[in-house]
Structure formats: C-alpha cells, structure tokens
Structure 1
C-alpha cells in the first residue's frame, strides 16, 4: 500500500495530470478526478484510480471521497485543481457564464474540501488549492475567472485558520502563464512575445514546474507551511498582468 494517498481533481490533463504523475512517481497512491470521463480513462490507466465525477455536484463529490476511501483506506492529500476559464468583457458575461465559472472554480473547492475534511483530520493531511495570478492582479476579460480565483485564495486562508486545529495544512498555488497545449493554441505570437517581455524569467512555465511546487506543499518537507499563497509565475505577479496584447 502506498505511504500517502492523494485526490487530484481536474486530473485528465494539464497541471492536474502532471501533479498526479509526479505524486505517483514519489510513491503516492492517487485518485484522479475529472468530469471528462473519456479522457480520464485514457490517462489514468496504470496511473491510479479514475473517478469520473464533477466537483460542482455535491452528491458526486461525496461519492468521490467514498470511492477513494473504499479503494485506498485513507486520504492524506487533496489537490483542488479542477477549474474552467471563461474570458469575456463584463458586459458580455451573462449570469449563466458567471455561475458556470464559480460552480467549478469556487464551489468545487469548497465542496471537495468539506467532504474530505473528516478523512484529512484522521491523517492530519493537507489541501492544496490551485488559484491563479489572475486572482492576485486584475486584468481585462477576467471578471468571472479572476474573481473566482481571488475567492479561492481567501477560502484557503479561512480553511487554514480553522482546519489547523486538526493538524490539516492548507495552501494555495497561483500559476502564472503556463505552456499548455490550450495556451499555445489560443495565444497569438503577439501575446506570447508580450508575456515573455513582462515575465522576469522571460518564458512561460511548464506544467511540471507547477506540479513540483504542489508536491512540495503536500510533503512532510512543508510540515510547518500553511495558509500561504504561493505564486509560481517566473516573477510575473510582481510586474502586473495588464498586457496591451490581451486587450485587443
């Protein structure tokens, strides 16, 4: 039996999948959660327990925790990575679009953390919430996305303050621009160049670089770290995110 058991949401691709792979390589047992059942089944084979659930649906979240406990017997770590992005101007953001972002990015973090708390109390485990630099600094077209991520950061500190009494650590990682397939598909060369100019390290980050910080926060090496908001962004947050190329 693995020494440490983790749930990773949004694990069918991107940062979630990179995190799941890294944790498994470090000897952890992982429950991979994603509502994209087809893609999840492909990537989870020989990697971990595939749970095709939607983190915004309370009954499915409860089932996620139950299935993990039945399979592994314990939960040591919850990585709340599942999220959706919807970039639109304020006037073009309908309430339906607003709620679609909030129900996954914010409600999902609340529901998963609450459902996993009894098991994490037993293991004195940890939670890592994934936010974004878009929650730290305002930018155009991110009224729903940026607000949801800012709320996740405050929720992290609320959780750390309360759950610390049980020995549960809660931290938040805020990725900056990451070289994902989706980002490279939608970012024009002008936007890529502008990001490189604005990031002190002059490049996008990688999914693996984000995953390594997440894995550190779940480990015993971070045993006295809780309530922290950590930007993993090549220094981008310190320079602002209002790029001219993104306003067009």
Structure 2
C-alpha cells in the first residue's frame, strides 16, 4: 500500500493507537494531520513520522470536544494541503463504573468525546471528503457488543459509534465516501493509566485479560494501524458500513 498524495487526519494522535497509526501511515508516505491535546507528545510523534519518509506532518494542538477547535482542525487541514482524503476518528476516553457507581459527569465526559466530537468533526469533514471520494475510519471497541459492568458509559458510547458508522456509511455511499470502524479488544495503551491504574495494577490487569484471550496475546498497536491502513486504501474500495473486530478472539468468550 502506498498513500503518497493522500491527506489523512488522525485525532488522538499524541499517544496510543493514534500515534501507532500515524507512525505506520508515515512509513507509507501519507501526508498526515496529527491532532491531539498534548502538544509536547504531538510534536514528538510528528518528528518521528517525519524521519520515516521525510514528509513533515501538520501537527494541530486542539481539543476535539471544543466546537471552535473542530472547525479549526478542518480549516487548517484544507488550508495546508488543499484537500482531505481520510478521516480517522480515534480520540477517545474511558470512564469507569456501572449504573450503581458512576456519575452523570462521567457519562457526559465520555459521550462528549467518544460520540459528539466524532459526529461534529465528521459533519465538518464530509464536504471535503465528497470532493476527494474519501473515507472515514472510526476507532471503536469490542465493548460495543460485549457487555461488561466495568465501564458502562464507555461501552454504550462505542455501541453508538458502531451504529453511527453504519448509518453514515449508508447516507454517504451515493457520494462515494466509505465509512467503517475498527473494533479492537485489549490493546495496552496509555488509556488504562489515564483511569488511575498504577504499574502493578496494570500488570495484573494485563495478565488477567491476556490469560483469558483465546490467542493468549494482547493486540499490538501496529496491528490495529495496519487494519486502519487497509480500510483507508483502495484495496478496501468495496467495503463500507463494516465493523472490523481485532481482539485475539476475546469476543468469542
């Protein structure tokens, strides 16, 4: 696959799956727009990407939850590159707790980032993607269809995102825009540290989760990035409205 002359915007690109995807696509000569809230991390990932193929990404420090920032992201992308080919809605947060021990603050935070921000940024990107006959990849999770009691708001936000993917795929198909999602299982990223797990707790969590997975291995970030790259490529030109699971078999149990 070669993404030479393809402009790809990735949210949540300063760490985790977003950073892994940026690095993977940089090696395929993509013209990247990296969006994140952590400016120092974002610059570090941008520099790493630039060293890959000598193509300097456009790094935009912004919060996708802020409407003016979302507008600025799209405007700066088009001003810089003149177009947009691929939108990767990756930015996301997790909030722990079920219906008995959660809060509306947790619900609002999770739904705002994981669903509202995706809705808004996609809306803003569509006119430009219509011009390029581009595509959208939403980063979801297997928790969208696999119930658990640990993170209710997160789970339902990803269920909403999966249905959003299908509905928007149907709406935008006549415009030549494809819309798909990737649904990873457990990937060891900073997301778990962000909810307060220390290194010992994280190690125990990882051992427990991986031990219960049929393939007995955590999903690697670059594996998810490779799936995103495939869905963004012409090799997937007949695929739209699909949710691609990559979870080491976790959803089988």
Length-normalised TM-score, structure 2: 0.90
User: Comparing 20-29 with 217-226, which one deviates more in the overlay?
Assistant: 20-29
- Alpha-carbon distance in structure 2 between the residues aligned to 1:190 and 1:48: 37
Q: Matched residues in 2 for 1:186 and 1:166: separation?
A: 50
Q: Tell me if structure 1 keeps the 8 A contact 2:180–2:243.
A: yes
Q: Write out aligned runs for 1:211-230 (5 A).
A: 211-230=225-244
What CA RMSD, in Å, does the superposition of the two structures yield over aligned residues? Answer: 1.7
- Cα separation, 2, equivalents of 1:181 and 1:207: 11
Tell me which of 142, 159, 183 is aligned to 2:151.
142
Q: Distance in 2 between matches of 1:190 and 1:28?
A: 37
| Maintained 8 Å contact 2:33/2:57 | yes
Superposition pairs of residues 1-248 of structure 1, within 5 angstroms: 2-45=4-47, 46=50, 47-181=56-190, 183=192, 185=199, 187-239=201-253
Deviation at 1:37, TM superposition (A): 2.2
Superposed displacement of residue 81, structure 1: 0.2
Asked if structure 2 preserves the Cα contact closer than 8 Å seen for 1:79 and 1:128, the reply is yes
Q: 1:21 to 1:62 in 2, by over 3 A?
A: same
Task: Specify the SS of the correspondent of 2:121.
Answer: helix
Q: In 2 relative to 1, CA 187–221 (structure 1 residues): closer, same or farther, beyond 3 Å?
A: farther
Distance 1:99 1:135, change over 3 A: same
Indicate the SS of the match to 2:106: helix
1 CA distance for matches of 2:132 and 2:90?
Answer: 21
| Segment of structure 1 superposing worse, 26-35 or 182-191 | 182-191
Question: Deviation at 1:92?
Answer: 2.4
In structure 1, how many angstroms separate the alpha carbons of the residues matched to 2:106 and 2:27? 38
Shift of 1:218: 0.2
Number of positions where the alignment pairs a residue of Structure 1 with one of Structure 2: 239
> How far does the alpha carbon of each residue in 1:22-73 deviate from its partner, in whole angstroms, 9 at most, with x for none?
1111111000001222321222233511111111112111110010011111
Q: 1:196 to 1:2 in 2, by over 3 A?
A: closer
Asked if the contact 1:129/1:156 (under 8 Å) is kept, the reply is yes
Question: Gaps (5+ residues) in structure 2?
Answer: 51-55, 194-198
Relative distance call for 1:165 and 1:36 in structure 2 (3 A) is: same
